[in-house]
C-alpha cells in the first residue's frame, strides 16, 4: 500500500505598526532569526520565511505593535 502525504502550506504574515512600536527589542530578542531592529529604531521583518507562526512576538509586545496572521 502506498503511503500518501498531504502537505499544507501555511501563509504567515507579520505586520508591525511603526506608529506603536517603540523599538524596545523584546520581540527581536525572542526571535532574532526573523525580526531585527531597523535603522529607524523600529522592528522590521528580516526573514519572514523562517516564521513558524508561534506568535510569541505578538504575545510579548507590551505595545501591541506586532501582529501575526497564520492562514
Instruction: Give the nearest distance from C-beta 3 to ligand SF4 in angstroms.
Output: 30
The string over 15-52, giving b where at least 16 C-beta atoms fall within 10 Å of a residue's C-beta and e elsewhere, is: ebeeeebeeeebbbeebeebbebeeeebbebeeeeebe
Instruction: Give the nearest distance from C-beta 1 to ligand SF4 in angstroms.
Output: 37
Which residues lie near ligand SF4 (CB under 6 A)?
14, 16, 21-27, 30-31, 34-35, 43, 51-57, 61, 63, 65-66, 68
Instruction: Give the nearest distance from C-beta 16 to ligand SF4 in angstroms.
Output: 6
Amino acid at each position: 500500500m502506498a503511503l500518501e502525504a498531504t502537505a499544507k502550506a501555511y501563509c504567515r504574515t507579520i505586520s508591525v505598526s511603526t506608529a506603536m512600536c517603540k523599538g524596545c527589542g523584546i520581540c527581536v530578542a525572542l526571535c532574532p532569526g526573523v525580526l531585527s531592529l531597523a535603522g529607524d529604531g523600529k522592528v522590521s521583518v528580516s526573514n519572514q520565511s523562517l516564521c513558524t507562526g508561534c506568535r510569541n512576538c505578538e504575545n510579548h509586545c507590551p505595545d501591541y505593535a506586532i501582529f501575526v496572521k497564520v492562514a
